[in-house]
Structure 1
Amino acid sequence: MSLELRAPHNERLSLELPVEAARLGTPFNGSLCAEDGRLFSIDRNIVQLVENKRTFDTLAQLSNHVPVTAQVYEDLWRRRSIGLLSGENFSLEEEKKLMLDWTEPKGGEKILDVGCSTAFYARSLQDYEPGAQTVALDLSLPMLQKAREKAVEEEVDLFLLQADARQLPFFSDTFDLVAMGGTLNEVSNTAQVLTEIRRVLRPNGRFFIMYLLKSSHWLGRVAQESSSLGGLHFWTYEESKNLFKGAGFTIDRVETKGIVAFALLG
């Protein structure tokens, strides 16, 4: 099934992305044309919807655009990150199981992974439920290129979009399930991103998010204060709860492991 997009330059215009773009085993190149003639390129299945050539605001975001970061991110960092940050023995496979148990993806659903990096969440969800239609979205082209590589290896089909989470290229009430792993701590306008996610999520949809809390340990606070200079943000649990509620979400389930929080919102 094709995917309908909202043109990033004009919210009244739509773009129709052919299903062939999601069949990552076959390179797909071309362009999407809006009704006003604006073209958006598709390069090896990745739809490029970013009009501003500068796609980062902070050092933390800049690091995601370095090709070597994309190459090592999942295998060297992401697989160990929860255990290192939480101080607990918690593997990436356990995180995957928790996400799937909480979200229960179903056939026919539309799923979005926002700030996907190498699309670990998107790949896991689509592999679990091949009858779903899953979209992986990130600002970083190198991350999306690595996501494509991994999805091809795993024989998982996804739509890959280079786009800004602050202005999601979808019409309202598009998705049944949205997932986000760690990206909320890096975005420039947290409230705007959450409001956009709530907009594109259907009224009874689910939003699964993993994010980092403020540390209660003095050494952790020092490290986080240093990280904040590079553009990272951290919140207490109460602060994060207020952020979610302010964007229109209800909090259905929460689990914390040290400074790592998992939440299921509706």
Structure 2
Amino acid sequence: MINSFTNPNIDARFAIARGFPKELLKSGDNFMFFWNDGKEQVMMQIDDREIILEPDHITCTTYLHKVQIDNSEDHLKTLVFNREFYCVHTYDSEVSCSGLLFFGSNTSPVMKLDSEETGRLRTLYSVLEEEFAIADSNQEEMLRILLKRFIIRCTRLARQQILKSADKQSDIDLVRVFNVLVEEHFRTKKTVGEYAALMYKSPKTITNVFSKYSEESPLQVIHNRVIMEAKRMLLYTDKPAREIGYELGYSDPAQFSKLFKNHTGITTSVFKNSKSVIPFGQN
């Protein structure tokens, strides 16, 4: 069952569902949360990566990801919204999720829920279901407020579980800002120094903070984002590797090919031939 809200004046959309109805994929600009609120595993594929979403775990994706789910039973709860309904960049000062939940890495974050947090999110989800049934002038804003609360709760979990033992807000913000900048500039900027200049920090400062709070170095974050985009283009387009490398900022095809093989262990041609090319948004 899908509960949905739309504001056609600004093309704003927000929906929640039990399971993973294919109708949720009609638009290609979605942010999504996937919450396994049951007792069985959920098998997911996000781009070329297979994920087993264990019970009491939650993950999220952006419009950049292609998601496939095999056993989408009712114990999977899905929340879907677009930028017109709630822009995570515009409202980042409210929820602090950019660079952590969204646009933070080459992989989607997975957070574990304890019994208390599960109870809180179940209550919040139930309130959302009730609010979708109230079609009045306050509905849109109430849904937006409830979604914001959901995002904030997930952001807190991500801080606790993904950023190791981060205890300084300034360091957390540095990691987040670096990740967001990589998302914006990975096609043109390939060194830590270039991002450090944008942040008015030294490369050493950024590297030191990442060594304390992140499993990836800042250079790995840059390279992983490039590789993730390369994989998507190889999977979902028929562009040759040379053209993909050029679009990702590598005028020398050999340099791009070397980077790809160093990170994946295989060549671009082997990767492309091992996967069927799927038009983006097709299921």
Q: TM-score, normalised by structure 1?
A: 0.27
Which of the pair is proportionally richer in strand? 1
More RCO (CA 8 Å, sep 6+):
1
Greater share of helix: 2
TM-score by length of 2: 0.26
